[in-house]
Amino acid sequence: MRSSVVLTTLAGLGLLVAGCGAPGSSGTDASTTPSAAETAVELAACEPVAGDALVVLADDLGLQTVDNIVPAVNAAAVAGDDAILGLLDAVSATLDTPALIALNKAVDVDRQTSTVVAQAYLAEQGLDTQEQVGAGRAVVVGAGNFSESATLAELYAGVLDAAGYDASTQTIGNRETYLPALQSGELTIVPEYVGTLTEFLNKGANGADAESVASADLDATVAALTGLGEAVGLVFATPAAAQDQNAFAVTTAFADEHGVTTLSELAATCGGIVLGGPPECPERTFCQPGLEEVYGLQVGEFVSLDAGGPLTKSALTGGQIALGLVFSSDAALAGE
């Protein structure tokens, strides 16, 4: 599910990178315009540095599409009941990416159940006590078939239970399965991802070749999502600051050795970077081409691994690659 979420999100990123201007787009002759690689100063190679801890380098030029966590809600189910959206907003207000990473670590590394982790989090945030407004009304919170979605669903159900609703959770597979159930009212709420869902609805409404409307601009992407959702009977609570999007990580030892915290700093400091990621990375604008075109990063070698999975993380910590594609909310980013 995580892989399909990411690839769906990123398929629409060609517009974002193309917006930076292709050679010749300013009226010059592309055949005589030097490429970034031809004009860049050759930097000394920065070899991979092994280490136990990973850190994401900030995407300071907006290569990736936003993918903030957002509660997607059946519009008919909340018609005349503003309390549900308000309770979901209260959960979103507490969730930033470090908090999401900690929740994922508790489930994926510490092996606690999503239910237990969500209950503890709601208590810690003071969300387990609410005004009793639900009057026992049944609410079904759906989840995708991966742990992060299950934990988010438990958070939503828990805050609704605390407010007097009769909330239950149901894991119902991938987006192609749970979204129709949400639209029909079989599900009331599903935790979603702003950019991914925007493009999923966009392609569904306007065809597989539709121009992308999701971008690195959260407000603009949410505006597009709101309109697309309205057309299929969905409304959305406030997005959380937390994101689960593609990101590029190095070991903390590498970051400390070279003094880098952002992708721009990496590109300005290091040449000959050994990059690891999914097999499609050298052809996808969100991956190697985007790093080279948007950031001017000098990639010396690409190692075919996986999309943010154990192969990439192991290659990073073991010092086989310097930079790897990961998910920004991965439990491995929690550190010690």
The CATH number assigned to the domain holding 59 equals 3.40.190.120
Phi, psi (deg, nearest 5) at residue 240: -80, 160
Phi, psi (deg, nearest 5) at residue 268: -80, -15
Q: Is the pLDDT of residue 35 over 50?
A: no
Is there a single domain that holds both residue 273 and residue 171?
A: no
Q: Is the pLDDT of residue 279 over 90?
A: yes
d(CA 131, CA 320): 54
Least confident of 9-18, 32-41, 122-131, 273-282: 9-18
Is residue 233 within 8 A of residue 75, CB to CB? The reply is: yes
d(CA 20, CA 5): 25
Does 305 fall in a domain?
yes
Is residue 302 within 8 A of residue 315, CB to CB? The reply is: no
pLDDT at site 41: 74
Pick the residue with more confidence: 12 or 209? Answer: 209
| Tokens coding 165 | 């609703």
Phi, psi (deg, nearest 5) at residue 51: 180, 155
| Tokens coding 120 | 């503890």
User: If pLDDT is split at 50, 70 and 90, which confidence band does 42 have?
Assistant: confident
d(CA 173, CA 145): 5
Is there a single domain that holds both residue 194 and residue 78?
A: yes
For residue 326, count other CB atoms closer than 10 A to its CB. Answer: 23
N residues, the chain: 336
pTM for the structure as a whole: 0.86
Residue range 97-114, pLDDT digits in tens = 999 999 999 999 999 999
Q: Is the pLDDT of residue 12 over 70?
A: no
Is residue 325 within 8 A of residue 312, CB to CB? The reply is: yes
Is there a single domain that holds both residue 176 and residue 220?
A: yes
Does 280 fall in a domain?
yes
**What residue has token string 């050679």?**
23
Pick the residue with more confidence: 284 or 3? Answer: 284
Percent of the chain with pLDDT over 90: 86
Angle (deg, nearest 10), helices 194-206 and 175-184: 80
Is there a single domain that holds both residue 101 and residue 168?
A: yes
Nearest in space to 246 (alpha carbons), one of 304, 325, 175: 325
Is there a single domain that holds both residue 78 and residue 214?
A: yes
Residue range 53-91, pLDDT digits in tens = 999 999 999 999 999 999 999 999 999 898 999 999 999
Q: In the chain, where does DSSP find H-type helix?
A: 2-10, 14-18, 36-39, 75-78, 82-92, 97-108, 114-124, 147-162, 175-184, 194-206, 218-231, 252-258, 263-269, 288-294, 310-317
pLDDT at site 40: 57
Least confident of 26-30, 70-74, 149-153, 300-304: 26-30
Residue range 170-225, pLDDT digits in tens = 999 999 999 999 999 999 999 999 999 999 999 999 999 999 999 999 999 999 99
Least confident of 31-35, 67-71, 100-104, 229-233: 31-35
Percent of the chain with pLDDT over 70: 88
**What residue has token string 């590029």?**
248
Is there a single domain that holds both residue 125 and residue 141?
A: yes
Is there a single domain that holds both residue 78 and residue 213?
A: yes
* CATH assignment at residue 230: 3.10.105.10
Nearest in space to 203 (alpha carbons), one of 173, 223, 176: 176
d(CA 14, CA 32): 24
Angle at 110 between CA 99 and CA 240, to 5 degrees: 20
Q: Which of these three, 206, 236, 266, is where a domain ends?
A: 236
Q: Average pLDDT in the 17-29 region? A: 32
Please state the domain count of the chain. Answer: 2
Is residue 6 within 8 A of residue 64, CB to CB? The reply is: no
Is there a single domain that holds both residue 115 and residue 217?
A: yes
Q: Which of these three, 219, 236, 253, is where a domain ends?
A: 236
Q: Which domain holds residue 250?
A: 2-21+34-64+245-334
Residue 47 identity: E
Does 28 fall in a domain?
no
Is there a single domain that holds both residue 60 and residue 74?
A: no
Residue range 238-270, pLDDT digits in tens = 999 999 999 999 999 999 999 999 999 999 999
